[in-house]
């Protein structure tokens, strides 16, 4: 049995070739059409795609026409797995029309987002016929397209669940429960990184990281016991180190990555010198 399965593993996998706008493109195993297009530099607008998260299909901007010749349909490229022989067109007149309407919606949803304005302008959309978002005192909501990436990364990757959608209809925003500072937020900044419209704001204030967008949540930072620099959210740094090396000694655990690297190198040199001395 074992012998048979190792032989099977030796058989090279048949490459998956799809065409995008007539161009043959090689696809990796399980890769989505959007991932192939991004890798090949073929522009397909998208807002809710993030490599580290499962496809979600929320923003609908990545619509493409795909299928076998003569039998195609409109579908989202981020949820469509590349299959051998698949033909994809990224910009039919119907798709352009759909995207243009979506951009009008997003201009209404996030009137202060320069990212959305730029994306929309590429489709000749500079104004919106839709009602603009209700005025709120939340600066985040004026740039937020409610794609949900920050909520998902906080929940699914970090396991913190510090933020979520709150309110309903035109009042929907992403924030902490009851708009109060969150005790669950690690201050990791993953939400800042994944936000496609740069709506999420955090800043360092001395010994704390302040998550401005999340009701002013303040997270204490760890200070390096050698150089004194604040280098990472304290709890997150401790958890990460414990997960990476549960036996790390306290001397090293209190150092920032740069000082830790130096200290380890010094120890290695001393150990080598000691070893050489013993040998002599």
Residue nearer to ligand FES on the CB measure, 49 or 143:
49
Q: What ranges make up the beta strands (E) of the chain? A: 16-20, 23-27, 63-68, 71-76, 87-89, 164-166, 173-175, 203-205, 208-211, 217-223, 230-233
* 208-211 and 23-27 beta bridge pairing: unpaired
Question: Is 255 near ligand FES (CB under 6 A)?
Answer: no
Least separation in angstroms between residue 143's CB and ligand SF4 is 7
Handedness of CA 230, 235, 240, 243 (dihedral sign): positive
Least separation in angstroms between residue 29's CB and ligand FES is 20
Is residue 107 within 8 A of residue 128, CB to CB? The reply is yes
Q: How far apart are the first and last CA of the chain?
A: 55
146 binds, among ligand SF4, ligand FES, none (CB under 5 to 8 A by kind): ligand SF4
Kindly report the length of the chain.
Answer: 280
Is residue 181 within 8 A of residue 97, CB to CB? The reply is no
Residue nearer to ligand SF4 on the CB measure, 18 or 174:
174
Among the listed ranges 98-106, 146-154, 176-184, 244-252, the one in contact with ligand SF4 (CB under 6 A) is 146-154
Q: Binding ligand SF4 by CB under 6 A: which of 44, 77, 116, 200?
A: 200
Question: Is 148 near ligand SF4 (CB under 6 A)?
Answer: yes
Question: Is 60 near ligand FES (CB under 6 A)?
Answer: yes
Least separation in angstroms between residue 45's CB and ligand SF4 is 14
Question: Is 187 near ligand SF4 (CB under 6 A)?
Answer: no
Question: Is 233 near ligand SF4 (CB under 6 A)?
Answer: no
Query: Which tokens sit at 34?
Result: 């959007």
Question: Is 162 near ligand SF4 (CB under 6 A)?
Answer: no
- The CA distance from 190 to 92, in Å, is 35
Is residue 137 within 8 A of residue 124, CB to CB? The reply is no
Among the listed ranges 45-53, 121-129, 161-169, 217-225, the one in contact with ligand FES (CB under 6 A) is 45-53
Residues touching ligand SF4, count (CB under 6 A)? 15
Least separation in angstroms between residue 208's CB and ligand SF4 is 21
* Site for ligand FES, rule CB under 6 A: 46-49, 57-62, 76, 78
């Amino acid at each position: 049995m074992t012998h048979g399965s190792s032989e099977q593993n030796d058989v090279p996998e048949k490459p998956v070739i799809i065409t995008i706008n007539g161009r043959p493109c090689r696809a990796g195993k399980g890769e989505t059409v959007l991932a192939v297009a991004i890798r090949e530099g073929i522009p397909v607008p998208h807002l809710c795609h993030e490599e580290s998260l499962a496809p979600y299909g929320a923003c609908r901007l990545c619509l493409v026409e795909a299928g076998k010749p003569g039998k195609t349909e409109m579908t989202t490229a981020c949820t469509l797995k590349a299959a051998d022989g698949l033909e994809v067109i990224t910009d039919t007149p119907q798709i352009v029309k759909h995207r243009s309407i979506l951009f009008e919606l997003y201009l209404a949803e996030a009137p202060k987002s320069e990212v959305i304005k730029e994306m929309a302008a590429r489709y000749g959309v500079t104004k919106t016929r839709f009602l603009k978002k209700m005025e709120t005192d939340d600066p985040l909501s004026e740039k937020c397209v409610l794609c949900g990436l920050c909520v998902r990364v906080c929940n699914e990757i970090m396991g913190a669940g510090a933020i979520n959608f709150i309110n309903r209809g035109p009042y929907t925003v992403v924030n902490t429960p009851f708009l109060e500072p969150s005790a669950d937020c690690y201050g990791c900044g993953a939400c800042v990184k994944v936000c496609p419209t740069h709506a999420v704001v955090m800043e360092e204030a001395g010994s704390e990281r302040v998550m401005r967008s999340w009701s002013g949540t303040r997270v204490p930072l760890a200070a390096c016991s050698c150089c004194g620099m604040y280098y990472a959210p304290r709890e997150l740094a401790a958890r990460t180190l414990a997960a990476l090396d549960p036996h790390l000694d306290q001397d090293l655990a209190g150092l920032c990555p740069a000082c830790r690297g130096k200290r380890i190198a010094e120890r290695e040199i001393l150990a080598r010198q000691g070893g050489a001395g013993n040998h002599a």
